């Protein structure tokens, strides 16, 4: 790694450089804590739901940590993965980037983003429909229905905007890799 390239900063940079065991623990605590907190806020926290939230937190944290580990290995390690994310933001390929690893990861990301065009709209539309149903048909769940509507609209809009931004950046990075 060259010292001339600035490291990703802020919370995102912190997450990108975080060791995997720490990443797993942070993710587990976050997912489990939110699940237990929401359940406790509704006064429906039972021993069974507590165990269920703990198991769900373990499974989700394990799967997401494995995905991060796989991505880091594919591009050449933790620092390279942080550089990869930085390159997606800036459009600049580092001079010491592993050409084959980066090409493979860029092509995977390009396919994933292109596929998400067809997945994101129906998925977030379904979230909005569930929220609208909660608003209309289940009066005691009106607050959560409204949250689902707002969350579905916000995430759907973000997904569409992000797709339109990321695809040209990935194509530009692929061209720059070809020029090397």
* pLDDT tens for each residue of 35-92: 888 788 877 888 898 999 999 999 999 999 999 898 888 877 888 777 888 888 888 8
Contact 162, 75 (CB under 8 A): no
Q: Clarify whether residues 68 and 139 are in a common domain.
A: no
Domain that holds residue 62: 1-96
Going by pLDDT thresholds of 50, 70 and 90, the confidence category of residue 1 is very low
43, 77, 96 — which closes off a domain?
96
Query: How far, in Å, CA of 29 to CA of 75, rounded?
Result: 28
75, 96, 117 — which closes off a domain?
96
DSSP state of 5: S
Contact 27, 60 (CB under 8 A): yes
Q: Clarify whether residues 145 and 75 are in a common domain.
A: no
Q: Clarify whether residues 125 and 72 are in a common domain.
A: no
The number of domains in the chain is 2
Question: Which residues are within 8 A (CB) of 149 and not within 5 positions of it... i.e. 6 or more apart?
Answer: 128, 131, 132, 135
Going by pLDDT thresholds of 50, 70 and 90, the confidence category of residue 126 is very high
Predicted local distance difference test score (pLDDT) of residue 2: 42
Question: Is residue 3 predicted with pLDDT exceeding 50?
Answer: no
* Other CB atoms within 10 Å distance of the CB of residue 179: 7
Contact 17, 95 (CB under 8 A): no
Query: How far, in Å, CA of 176 to CA of 180, rounded?
Result: 7
Helix (H, G, I), strand (E, B) or coil at 166: helix
Query: How far, in Å, CA of 82 to CA of 88, rounded?
Result: 10
- What does the buried/exposed string (b/e) look like for 88-107 if buried means 16 or more CB atoms within 10 Å of the residue's CB? beeeebbeebbeebbeebbe
What is the rounded average pLDDT of the residues 111-137? 88
Q: Clarify whether residues 9 and 76 are in a common domain.
A: yes
47, 76, 96 — which closes off a domain?
96
Give the closest residue to 159 by CA, choosing from 136, 127, 132: 127
Give the closest residue to 100 by CA, choosing from 76, 69, 72: 76
* pTM (two decimals): 0.64
Give the closest residue to 144 by CA, choosing from 133, 157, 154: 133
Predicted local distance difference test score (pLDDT) of residue 58: 96
Contact 141, 134 (CB under 8 A): yes
Q: Clarify whether residues 73 and 116 are in a common domain.
A: no
Q: Clarify whether residues 103 and 50 are in a common domain.
A: no
């Amino acid at each position: 790694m060259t010292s001339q390239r600035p490291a990703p900063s802020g919370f995102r940079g912190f997450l990108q450089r975080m060791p995997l065991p720490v990443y797993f623990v942070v993710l587990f605590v976050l997912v489990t804590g939110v699940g237990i907190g929401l359940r406790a806020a509704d006064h429906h926290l039972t021993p069974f739901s507590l165990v269920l939230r703990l198991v769900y937190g373990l499974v989700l944290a394990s799967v997401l940590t494995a995905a991060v580990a796989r991505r880091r290995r594919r591009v050449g390690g933790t620092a390279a993965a942080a550089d990869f994310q930085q390159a997606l933001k800036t459009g600049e390929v580092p001079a010491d980037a592993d050409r084959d690893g980066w090409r493979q990861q860029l092509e995977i990301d390009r396919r994933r983003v292109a596929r998400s065009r067809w997945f994101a709209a129906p998925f977030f539309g379904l979230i909005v429909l569930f929220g609208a149903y909660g608003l209309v048909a289940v009066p005691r769940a009106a607050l959560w229905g409204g949250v689902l509507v707002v969350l579905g609209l916000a995430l759907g809009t973000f997904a569409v905007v992000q797709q339109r931004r990321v695809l040209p950046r990935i194509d530009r990075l692929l061209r720059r890799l070809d020029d090397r």
